[in-house]
Amino acid sequence: MKTFLDFEKPVAELENRIAELRSAAEGDDVDISNELQRLELKSADLLRNTYCNLTPWQKTQVARHPLRPHFRDYVEQIFDDFMPLGGDRTYGEDEAILGGFAKLNGRRVMLIGHEKGNDTKSRIRHNFGMGKPEGYRKAIRLMEMAGRFGLPVVTLVDTSGAFPGIEAEERGQAEAIARSTEACLALPVPMVATIVGEGGSGGAVALASAERVLMLEHAVYSVISPEGCASILWRTAEKAPDAAEAMKITAQQLAQLNVIDRIIEEPVGGAHRDPAGAASALGQAIGEELDALVGKPADELRRIREDRFLAIGTN
């Protein structure tokens, strides 16, 4: 079943009409192919126009779309031989953050990312992509190993934020995030991070402090969720669309602020309409970025990474 977002209603209505026409014409002799073709073109146009002009709040909806491809979908589509590695060796295994060895077009990499899940059962298993300290500590462990064995690190960031809970606090959520950020910065190997859906605050930065940060066209990346920002500054979460606008959270805005380096175009109508197309664009982009970095000495990689963050706010 297709899920339509509020702002997609006109597209949905057109698509319904096309479907109705098609079923009405079935077995009928009347030739409606011209009319159908006209409507389909119109519908495609409408979709393209809608997605060219998404507001930051609409992009937030797209980035959170239940059918948007997640970590495991991308693993299936573009990575080969994914070998997941588990546990932080201290407390447990957190399935909100997955990681392991993988191949991208023959390149050996350490792949790490958030997984939100795609149905009730898997969403609960992956805690909706909200990492706990043990998840970030697993990421640290994998990054350190990648550094020792010369494996470039590829991360796919997709989280509304790190998990806010009693146990997460007790086990040092803040420290785990800080150390994970530090582990990114310390890597002697190339690191390419991509915000594929939601880049939510510290929980995202912990896996995105890379020398190359990419974003899918309709992904969002922000210091706090629009709802959270609205409820603090406007005193009501209903102002989330205004907060989304004010914070500058879209890939296009962040590229202008030099916070991200590259925007990966999504298929018309968003990644959820053509997950395979989105995945192939993502794989292509990560591959190109890795190729440009591989072979650089560790010191140079660290310097590029450090300069990138030190410069933010001065340029």
Partner 1 sequence: MSWFNKVRNSLPFLPKRESPDTLWIKCPGCQEMIFAREYHDNLEVCPRCDHHGRIGADRRLEQMLDAGYEVLPQPEVREDPLKFRDTKPYVQRLKQARAKNPHRDAYTVGSGMIEGNPAVIGVQDFGFMGGSMGMAVGTAFCAGAQRALERGCAYIVVTAAGGARMQEGILSLMQMPKATVMTRRLREAGLPYIVVLTDPTTGGVTASYAMLGDVQIAEPGALIGFAGQRVIQDTIREKLPEGFQRAEYLHRHGMVDMVVERGNLRSTLATMLDYLQPRAAA
Q: Which residues bind partner 1 (CB under 8 A)?
A: 162-166, 168-175, 177-179, 181-182, 184-186, 201-202, 205-206, 209, 221-224, 228-229, 232-234, 242-243, 246-249, 254, 257, 259, 306, 309-310, 312-314
C-alpha torsion angle, residues 306, 308, 311, 315 (rounded to 10):
170
- Phi and psi torsions of 139, nearest 5°: -60, -40
Query: What residues contact residue 60 under an 8 Å CB cut-off, 6+ apart?
Result: 198, 220, 226, 240, 244, 249
Token output for 288:
């190109």
Token output for 124:
């609960």
Whole-angstrom distance, CA of residue 83 vs CA of residue 123? 21
Three-state DSSP class for 156?
strand
With both helix axes pointing from N to C terminus, report the angle between 226-233 and 240-247 in degrees, rounded to the nearest 10. Answer: 100
* CB of 103 or CB of 296, closer to partner 1: 296
Residue 225 beta carbon to partner 1: minimum distance, rounded to whole angstroms: 10
Three-state DSSP class for 262?
strand
Residue 228 beta carbon to partner 1: minimum distance, rounded to whole angstroms: 8
Residue 150 beta carbon to partner 1: minimum distance, rounded to whole angstroms: 21
Residue 59 beta carbon to partner 1: minimum distance, rounded to whole angstroms: 14
* CB of 194 or CB of 201, closer to partner 1: 201
* CB of 154 or CB of 195, closer to partner 1: 195
- Phi and psi torsions of 81, nearest 5°: 50, 40
* CB of 98 or CB of 251, closer to partner 1: 251
DSSP 89-121: SSS---TTEEEEEEEETTEEEEEEEE---SSHH
* CB of 46 or CB of 259, closer to partner 1: 259
Which helix (H) or strand (E) segment holds residue 216: the answer is strand 212-216
Residue 111 beta carbon to partner 1: minimum distance, rounded to whole angstroms: 21
Residue 256 beta carbon to partner 1: minimum distance, rounded to whole angstroms: 10
Residue 82 beta carbon to partner 1: minimum distance, rounded to whole angstroms: 27
* CB of 159 or CB of 209, closer to partner 1: 209
Beta carbons of 228 and 240 less than 8 angstroms apart: no
* CB of 261 or CB of 288, closer to partner 1: 261
Q: Positive or negative CA dihedral for 227, 232, 204, 252?
A: positive
Query: What residues contact residue 16 under an 8 Å CB cut-off, 6+ apart?
Result: none
* CB of 159 or CB of 181, closer to partner 1: 181
Residue 205 beta carbon to partner 1: minimum distance, rounded to whole angstroms: 5
